[in-house]
Amino acid sequence: MSSFKNKNVLITGGASGIGKIMSRLALQRGANVIVWDVNQKGLDDMFNEFVLIGNIHTFHVDIAQPSQIKAAVEAVKREFGYLDILINNAGVVTGKYFHEHSDEEILRSLGVNTYAPMLITRLFLDGMLQRNRGHICNIASMASMISVPKMAAYVASKWAIMGWSDSLRLEMEQLNKNIHVTTVAPYYIDTGMFNGVKAIIPLLKPEKTAAKVIRAIERNRIYKGMPWSYNSIRLLQGILPVRLFDRIVGRWMGMHQSMKNFVGKNISN
């Protein structure tokens, strides 16, 4: 079991969505919570709201910029010394056909969703290895397993995170390190990030989703898919012909049309 009490916890994209809720839940468990976000107003509002709950610390960081990540990591190490729990939560999505993407949109999707979690983890991992203690939670997506039209860059970034995260887990186990890695793959969450999305399965509720992520960390879960029914996706992909899988999941369940009326907002998960 991983406890949050008296632990230094960093949550990226923590000023809104499930990141903000997870920050509150960690504070209520007695954690020393460090929040990174690109939204300064969101950080200020969050600090004012949560300062009476516990030890909350906010940093304005654009994790699409490696130089800002490195500076923020050094600032955290100077102020807090080490990190116990890292939750790579921040993410961005662009809902359009791949040929409509600009170079900047592709680079930002891969930068925020893929490279940033890897860089942040690598920069904090040395301390965890030295202390032989830590927990890393990476928020992937059900898009880590399902191909979805009008989400090609996002899907690519999340497929990468899924594979990297679980490989990192195996590396820590192979090295006999007491460092846990939890990979979370939620369906669309009703935070505003996926405004306009429609499918047979309703969007996940942010409060319940955040609580499940925190519990997954506490229980040292290797993988947490949400909703539970989506755990069958890998089985179906393995046993069904591609066209039949496309028909069932894409057409009948509506996944291939889910982004048709996407509006969204550029916020973290």
What is the CATH number for 57? Answer: 3.40.50.720
Lowest mean pLDDT of 97-111, 151-165, 184-198, name the range.
Answer: 184-198
Instruction: Return d(Cα 221, Cα 2) in angstroms, integer.
Output: 10
Q: What is the domain range of residue 102? A: 8-257
What pLDDT, in 10s, does the model give residues 215-241?
999 999 999 999 877 777 778 878 889
In 3-state terms, the chain is what percent helix, strand and coil (to 5)? 50, 15, 35
- 29: in domain: yes
Query: What pLDDT is stored for residue 144 in this prediction?
Result: 84
Name the band, by pLDDT with cuts 50, 70 and 90, for residue 245. confident
DSSP state of 65: S
**Total domain count for the chain?**
1
What pLDDT, in 10s, does the model give residues 190-208?
876 666 666 667 788 999 9
Instruction: Return d(Cα 174, Cα 172) in angstroms, integer.
Output: 5
Instruction: Given the residues 97, 115, 154, 188, select the one marked as catalytic.
Output: 154
Known catalytic residue: 188? no
- 262: in domain: no
- 153: in domain: yes
Instruction: Using the Cα atoms of residue 149, residue 152, residue 158 and residue 161 in order, give the sign of their dihedral.
Output: positive
- 263: in domain: no
Measured from the Cβ of residue 243, the count of other Cβ atoms closer than 10 Å reads 9
What pLDDT, in 10s, does the model give residues 29-43?
999 999 999 999 999
Overall pTM surpassing 0.85 (yes/no): yes
- 268: in domain: no
Instruction: Return d(Cα 19, Cα 24) in angstroms, integer.
Output: 9
Alpha helix ranges (H) inside the chain: 17-28, 40-50, 66-80, 103-110, 116-131, 152-174, 206-218, 233-239, 242-245
**Residue 25, Cα to own-chain centre: how many angstroms?**
16
- Residue 151, exposed/middle/buried by CB under 10 A (0-12, 13-18, 19+)? buried
Give the residue among 104, 80, 85 at the shortest CA–CA distance from 94. 104
Answer for the pair 268, 91: CB distance below 8 angstroms, yes or no. yes
- 1: in domain: no
- 167: in domain: yes
Query: What pLDDT is stored for residue 259 in this prediction?
Result: 62
- 199: in domain: yes
Query: What pLDDT is stored for residue 267 in this prediction?
Result: 44
